[in-house]
């Protein structure tokens, strides 16, 4: 049992983190999101019903748990209010079970407009979710952002809006043309105010009393602002060290770092993706895996498991183990491929993930092909309950990723998993 666990997406997001946060939530007292905003979409099934959460941490459905949003998060207040109302039948949020950091930053209608504008005017769009994430983090780095604590104080909120209206023509335009959104924005402050508190200090104090904490990442390692495939990344630090920065804690106190990966790879938005498939196999992955964005409903690009990228993700995060999701999706295939390394026309064979996106774009994956199992997988049990071919796939992937694969997700249900170790 670990006191502080960090859960990270090992690929480009959409690895199915929601399912495992829900699972691990049982053994933790506090579940905290440490970065990102409502660009994320965590899908989970509660009592057989599908729930998609964008901002509230996915562990909230276990009774008696505390969910928290830490300083590194950006919040769309009106959307958060809607989410709180959406889950109200399943769980009532109150200042005891839901905490919002006073240091988290606010996404305003202006930020959303700025995101949409830059996506439509860039020669090279990033393919963002257009939720205002990048511009909100830009304001934060620029030191002109709006803190959640200021947002909930009517006087400081007004001052901030007034100052920005004076400074920025685009802000003025948004203020004039997005009045409905601004009204909704301002009125959500009353509902959110009771949740605002010095979360980080409170968690640090509770840790010293033995509380167990799960730090929940959004997006994935390859979308990290520093270590992802820049510029095709999100604007926050998605890797494990992002969690300790957001909380403000001695990184050495973290005992367990788990990487969540799919048994194949998907990516939404633009940017290099070496194992991407444009053939019937890719379409089959998309169909079987129902690979459409939980936030934007965009079709996800699909490809085979990339162990070069996985080794890199394991290195930058320090994964102790990997939970591998959606193994059942591969049941449809006669043959399954795994990328073992890349080949670059000028640089030759490459075993380590190129951190320069231009080099990465020139890489062609080299695959190892394995026989498929072509049968339904059992939805509970252990490694021994997998067909021989699926066992081989896991062994091979584990050896190539150089990290133990300890769990396998084999269905969308809350309990559809195999304990491999």
Stretch that binds ligand IMP, among 36-44, 68-76, 342-350, 407-415 (CB under 6 A): 36-44
79 interacts with ligand IMP by CB under 6 A: no
Cβ–Cβ under 8 Å, residues 4 and 215 = yes
- Min dist CB 130 to ligand IMP, Å, is 7
Q: Cα–Cα distances in Å, from 22 out to 57, 381, 405?
A: 9, 19, 19
User: Pairing state of beta strands 405-409 and 417-419?
Assistant: antiparallel
What is the gyration radius of the CA atoms in the chain, in angstroms? 21
Helix pair angle (388-401, 307-317), 10° resolution = 50
- Min dist CB 9 to ligand IMP, Å, is 8
- Closer by beta carbon to ligand IMP, 134 or else 203: 134
Closest chain position to ligand IMP (CB)? 269
Span between the terminal Cα atoms of the chain, in Å: 15
**Out of 22, 28, 29, 42, which one is annotated catalytic?**
42
- Catalytic annotation on 42? yes
Question: What string of H, E and C letters represents the secondary structure of 316-369?
Answer: HHCCCEEEEECHHHHHHCCEEEEEEEEEECCCEEECCCCCCHHHHHCCEEEEEE
- Binders of Mg ion among residues 17 to 46 (CB under 5 A) are 41
Environment class of 48 (CB within 10 Å of its CB; exposed 0-12, middle 13-18, buried 19+): exposed
With vertex at residue 281, the alpha carbon angle to CA 277 and CA 286, rounded to the nearest 5 degrees, is 80
- Min dist CB 176 to ligand IMP, Å, is 25
Q: Which of 111, 131, 237, 326 binds ligand IMP (CB under 6 A)?
A: 131
- Closer by beta carbon to ligand IMP, 42 or else 311: 42
- Closer by beta carbon to ligand IMP, 40 or else 247: 40
- Min dist CB 79 to ligand IMP, Å, is 13
> What is the distance between the alpha carbons of residues 231 and 44, in angstroms, rounded to a whole number?
30
User: Pairing state of beta strands 348-350 and 335-344?
Assistant: antiparallel
Q: Is it true that the peptide bond before 27 is cis, omega within 30 degrees of 0?
A: no
> What is the distance between the alpha carbons of residues 9 and 17, in angstroms, rounded to a whole number?
7
- Min dist CB 411 to Mg ion, Å, is 18
What is the distance of C-alpha 326 from the center of its chain? 16
126 binds, among Mg ion, ligand IMP, none (CB under 5 to 8 A by kind): ligand IMP
139: which 2 tokens?
């304001």
Q: Which of 18, 269, 303, 409 binds ligand IMP (CB under 6 A)?
A: 269
219 interacts with ligand IMP by CB under 6 A: yes
Environment class of 278 (CB within 10 Å of its CB; exposed 0-12, middle 13-18, buried 19+): exposed
216 interacts with Mg ion by CB under 5 A: no
- Min dist CB 227 to ligand IMP, Å, is 14
Cβ–Cβ under 8 Å, residues 226 and 219 = no
- Closer by beta carbon to Mg ion, 16 or else 145: 16
Q: How many binding residues for ligand IMP (CB under 6 A)?
A: 21
223 interacts with Mg ion by CB under 5 A: no
**Out of 14, 22, 139, 328, which one is annotated catalytic?**
14
129 interacts with ligand IMP by CB under 6 A: yes
Q: Which of 221, 235, 275, 317 binds ligand IMP (CB under 6 A)?
A: 235
67 interacts with ligand IMP by CB under 6 A: no
268 interacts with ligand IMP by CB under 6 A: yes
294 interacts with Mg ion by CB under 5 A: yes
- Catalytic annotation on 14? yes
- Min dist CB 207 to ligand IMP, Å, is 28
User: Pairing state of beta strands 301-306 and 264-267?
Assistant: antiparallel
- Closer by beta carbon to Mg ion, 38 or else 174: 38
Q: Cα–Cα distances in Å, from 320 out to 5, 8, 149, 338, 352?
A: 10, 11, 36, 21, 19
133 binds, among Mg ion, ligand IMP, none (CB under 5 to 8 A by kind): ligand IMP
Residues belonging to the active site: 14, 42
Q: Give the footprint of Mg ion on this chain (CB under 5 A).
A: 14, 41, 294
């Amino acid at each position: 049992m670990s006191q502080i666990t960090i859960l990270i997406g090992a690929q480009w997001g959409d690895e199915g983190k929601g399912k495992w946060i829900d699972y691990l939530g049982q053994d933790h007292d506090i579940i905290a999101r440490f970065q990102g905003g409502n660009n994320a979409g965590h899908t989970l099934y509660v009592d057989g019903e599908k729930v998609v959460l964008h901002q509230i941490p996915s562990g909230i459905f276990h009774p008696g748990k505390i969910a928290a949003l830490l300083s590194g998060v950006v919040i769309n207040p009106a959307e958060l209010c809607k989410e709180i109302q959406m889950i109200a039948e399943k769980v009532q949020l109150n200042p005891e079970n839901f905490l919002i950091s006073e240091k988290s930053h606010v996404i305003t209608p202006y930020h959303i407009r700025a995101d949409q504008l830059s996506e439509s005017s860039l020669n090279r769009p990033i393919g963002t979710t257009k939720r205002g994430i990048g511009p909100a983090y830009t304001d934060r780095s620029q030191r002109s952002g709006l803190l959640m604590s200021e947002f909930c104080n009517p006087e400081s909120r007004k001052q901030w809006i007034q100052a920005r209206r004076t400074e920025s023509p685009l802000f003025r335009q948004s203020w004039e043309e997005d009045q409905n959104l601004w009204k909704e924005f301002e009125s959500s402050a009353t509902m959110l105010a009771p949740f605002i508190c010095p979360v980080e200090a409170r968690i640090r104090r509770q840790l010293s009393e033995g509380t167990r904490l799960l730090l929940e990442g959004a997006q994935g390692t390859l979308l990290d602002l520093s270590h992802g495939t820049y510029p095709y990344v999100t604007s926050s630090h998605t890797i494990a060290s992002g969690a300790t920065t957001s909380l403000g804690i001695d990184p050495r106190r973290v005992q367990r770092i788990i990487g969540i990966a799919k048994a194949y790879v998907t990516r939404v938005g633009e940017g290099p993706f070496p194992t991407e498939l444009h053939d019937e196999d890719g379409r089959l992955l998309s169909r079987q895996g129902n690979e459409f964005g939980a936030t934007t409903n965009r079709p996800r690009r699909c490809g085979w498991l990339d162990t070069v990228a996985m080794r890199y993700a394991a290195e930058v995060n320090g994964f102790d183990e990997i939970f591998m999701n959606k193994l059942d999706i591969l049941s449809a295939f006669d043959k399954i491929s795994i990328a073992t390394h890349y080949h670059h026309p000028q640089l030759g064979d490459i075993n380590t993930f190129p951190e320069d996106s231009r080099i990465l774009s020139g890489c062609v994956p080299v695959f190892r092909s394995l026989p498929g199992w072509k049968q339904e997988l059992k939805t509970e049990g252990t490694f021994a309950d997998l067909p021989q071919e699926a066992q081989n796939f896991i062994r091979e992937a584990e050896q190539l990723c150089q990290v133990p694969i300890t769990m396998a997700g084999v269905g969308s249900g809350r309990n559809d998993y195999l304990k491999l170790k």
